[in-house]
């Protein structure tokens, strides 16, 4: 059974810092991995999707990497801003459309 773990559960940093969020998964036979952000009481916003054949994806200040063999992904956020405060979730997909989610990292950027 696929399990996804995100560490840390919560992170608070001052504005302007670069930071890394971690995601690990137990079954390396994944189809892809997706990072989302969720604002309080809202739905999920897709940030980046990495196919199993890829090593990383970039969008603006965000960079996500994937090491399938070790079952790890990282989301790097450069020059953090207060608007980046949210819960960040990673999810892996194996085969069909079912996503298995981690519990998320609650990120707070302090002005």
Partner 1 sequence: KAGVTQTPRYLIKTRGQQVTLSCSPISGHRSVSWYQQTPGQGLQFLFEYFSETQRNKGNFPGRFSGRQFSNSRSEMNVSTLELGDSALYLCASSLVGAGTDTQYFGPGTRLTVL
**Which residues are CB-neighbours of 71 under 8 A, at least 6 positions away?**
24, 25, 26, 27, 28
Q: Which is nearer to partner 1, 55 or 98 (CB)?
A: 98
User: With binding defined as CB under 8 A, does residue 55 bind partner 1?
Assistant: no
| Out of 12, 26, 31, 70, the residue judged to bind partner 1 by CB under 8 A | 31
CA 57 to chain centroid: 12
User: With binding defined as CB under 8 A, does residue 34 bind partner 1?
Assistant: yes
Beta strand 56-59 with 62-67 is antiparallel
d(CA 40, CA 5): 20
User: With binding defined as CB under 8 A, does residue 97 bind partner 1?
Assistant: yes
User: With binding defined as CB under 8 A, does residue 59 bind partner 1?
Assistant: no
> 46 - beta bridge partners?
36
| Out of 64, 77, 86, 99, the residue judged to bind partner 1 by CB under 8 A | 99
| Out of 21, 25, 30, 36, the residue judged to bind partner 1 by CB under 8 A | 36
Beta strand 10-14 with 105-110 is parallel
Q: Give the interface with partner 1 as residue ranges (CB under 8 A).
A: 31-32, 34, 36, 41-46, 49, 51, 89, 91, 93, 96-104
């Amino acid at each position: 059974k696929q399990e996804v773990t995100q560490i840390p559960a919560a992170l608070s940093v001052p504005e302007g810092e670069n930071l890394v969020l971690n995601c690990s998964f137990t079954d390396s036979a994944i189809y892809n991995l997706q990072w989302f952000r969720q604002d309080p009481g809202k739905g999920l916003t897709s940030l980046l999707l990495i196919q199993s054949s890829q090593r990383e994806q970039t969008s603006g200040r965000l960079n996500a990497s994937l090491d399938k063999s070790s079952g790890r992904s990282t989301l790097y956020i450069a020059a953090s801003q207060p608007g980046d405060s949210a819960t960040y979730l990673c999810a892996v997909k194996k085969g069909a459309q079912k996503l298995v989610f981690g519990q998320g990292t609650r990120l707070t950027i302090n002005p």
